Structure 1
Amino acid sequence: MLNYRVLAAAALAAVLTGTTAACGGGSSTNGSGGNSSPKTLTYWASNQGASLENDKQVLTPELNKFEKQTGIKVKLEVVPWSDLLNRILAATTSGQGPDVLNIGNTWSASLQATGALLPWDSANLAKIGGKDRFVPAALAAAGAQGKDPAAVPLYSLAYGLYYNKKMFQAAGIATPPTTWDELVADGKKLTGNGHYGLAMEGGNPSENIHHAFVLGKQHGTDFFDASGKPQFDSPQAVAAVKQYIDFMAKDKIAAPGNAEYAANQSVSDFATGKAAMLLWQAAGSSLKSHGMKPADYGVAPVPFQTANPSGSTKINSMVAGINLAVFKNTKNLDGAVNFVKFMTSDSEQKILNGTYGSLPSVKTAQGDKAFSAPEQTVLADTLASSAAPLPQVPNESQFETLVGTAMKDLLADAAAGKAVTTASVKTALTKAQQQMPAS
């Protein structure tokens, strides 16, 4: 299941400051691909299942189904998250890449800026059923505002608060927290005897930035101004980041060892009862793989700063998920578009998202009863009403890496017993902002 890995910011910066339309070959006169290889496609899929081999087992029958329907053979390669962005960036500069590929939706605007991806204008969207088929929040995370999407949503995700029912009952807590103050108070009741209130993935910069973004929205900042200029060290941004670091540094409801977690270890801690709460994207399938039964935990919306918020601060999740993109220089443009139509069809959306535990990105499939379990209901409601896409700016990937790494270092300080103050947080965020490349 998706938990975005550390992004290759330096490589992306090099691409964005160089030629931005390097992938414009193909046979057509407007720089787009043609149809010189109408019977084959190459597809780079991201690792969504328990292993690369598991993904092959899930996807191969569906690709065979597509071949039977269209006569087009799809060559599948499942690419691990640790390699995916660098592989994509190499393809944008060399022109030698797949026809169709998965991208993390937070990369959409950054990869859009390379000029290598097929724009999903109204004509292309019409070929796959039209814009209105897709969940609006998911489509909003498919490219920069005011531009045609650089990809279309495939798998949708949102954050939820997972809580251990038995541990809550033992601590005398009747309902899950709805505000952060309540979460901290509950977390303190749940901390002790080798157990902690909250599991964190502090060694993962991308996981850190997801929470900083949500807390930032709740404090009134996007980390960028309207022109796309970074504002990492604004008072609101400092307050948001410090609030997250304080779960370990001040509130002490997260284990110091969580500062080093970077490979879904927080999920394991929650599943094995070492922590009573977990903030995660569609954790059900991962918890099952660790032996935790659905009856053992509940899922609630991520807390807000105050009860019943409204307006722009009513955000408690990033719009998470996987998008499906087409390289402009594909030699089977018609087949690639047809493949996107197939993968985003109602039937395939139900099959694939049902298998992976994610949510369909098309409205009609998401409303299917197969996605009506309590976990999916909470996540779907969040995606529909209180989720926002990460900043859709070309330098978003660098933002993830620089601020996420600054938070990793601050959590390491907290774990070592060093004081984390408003001043030290501001210093770390100012340094991150100074390292951002010029737009």
Structure 2
Amino acid sequence: MTDLATRAAPPAAAALRRAAPALLGYAAVRALGLVVLALWSEARGRSAYTLLTARWDSLWYARVAGLGYGYEVRLPNGDVHSNLAFFPLLPWLERLLHAVTPLSYAGAGFAVALVSSLAAAWGIFAVADRLYGPRAGVCAVLLWAALPVGIVQSMAYSESLFTALAAWSLYAVLAGRWPAAGSLALLAGLTRPVGLAVAAAVWAAGIASFVRNGSVPGPHGARDSAHAPHHGDSPPPGGATVRQRALGMLLAPLGAAGYVLWVGRHTGRGPLGYLDVQAGWRNGFDGGYAFARFVAGRFTSLPSALAGVGLIAGVVLVGLLYGACVRQRQPLPLLVYAGAVTALALCASGYFGSKPRLLMPAFPLLLPLAVALARLRPSRSALVLGGVAAASAVYGAFWLNGSGPP
């Protein structure tokens, strides 16, 4: 078998042609979701565009883009919602696009989400294709597009932008492009707090590669090198120099760390200032205790008990998928990234309804399902994926016209 770490990455044009079926399929699934949303919203006398661009977090991002940081809302219960909770890369892009086009800040956020979602789909395909082949890559992209909360990928939120940066950073690690991996991880860290998961993946792969005689991570996390050790800045065959790996690792955490430190200085609360800001939103990390209490609280009546059973089943499914990733022997950076995203999503103490959305960037969890679908006859996998896409479109329209995000 060809070593995935040393296989040369295809030129951009050839890579785009290879990814075209996945991107076209992704566009079709998301278009279906938007059409169903538009019809559903019209029937309820609501604007689908407003739902996608001017509610919940979209408003906060647009306000940061237009007015900068410093805005906050004080609630009657004493909580303080500060826009410092929102990382800056999406508002920066909204401001830039607003400056060079007629788009409003909200419209610019929508445009960024649409472009970023395609970039994310391409990145997911690139990772899956490199590891398991093009059919698995297409299936992974379509599964990601058809997640129950996949409609968020088309909202003026930061999930699509973050997933694009994360996927391509992980691909760069697998390809041994360490400065690119670190730079993309840096940008991911400027997009969402969970950007630290991307930095952790880069660091895990880097440490493993140093331990394994300077080799680049392969299909099982770090290549079992059959070559003689390489030292200094002389790259191993198809590998990277020590300096390149170190540079990638150095860059990876700078985005998230830089913003968190800036918030601490801006608020005058020191390095923990960002945690204070999140506490004002009743967000935090408690190891899942608050979420467990929330689930237990569902078992007070039959209707809510059914919801509690559904929540438990969802958590168990996520755990089973991660276990499948481990048994699949996914590369170490993917396991670290998916594990960190999952832990941060499930163990956060606030906004329990947001957990499916927070799990959306953990695309490696879908790879075992994608490989299984790729092994089916094309007609059968198309039937399964088509059914899932239709269900996702209906659920997304229902969800966004109801409680929806945050």
Q: Report if TM-score (shorter chain) is over 0.5.
A: no
Structure in which a larger fraction of residues adopt strand: 1
TM-score range, shorter chain: under 0.3
Structure in which a larger fraction of residues adopt helix: 2
Q: Which has the higher contact order (CA 8 A, sep 6+)?
A: 1
Report the TM-score when normalising by structure 1: 0.22
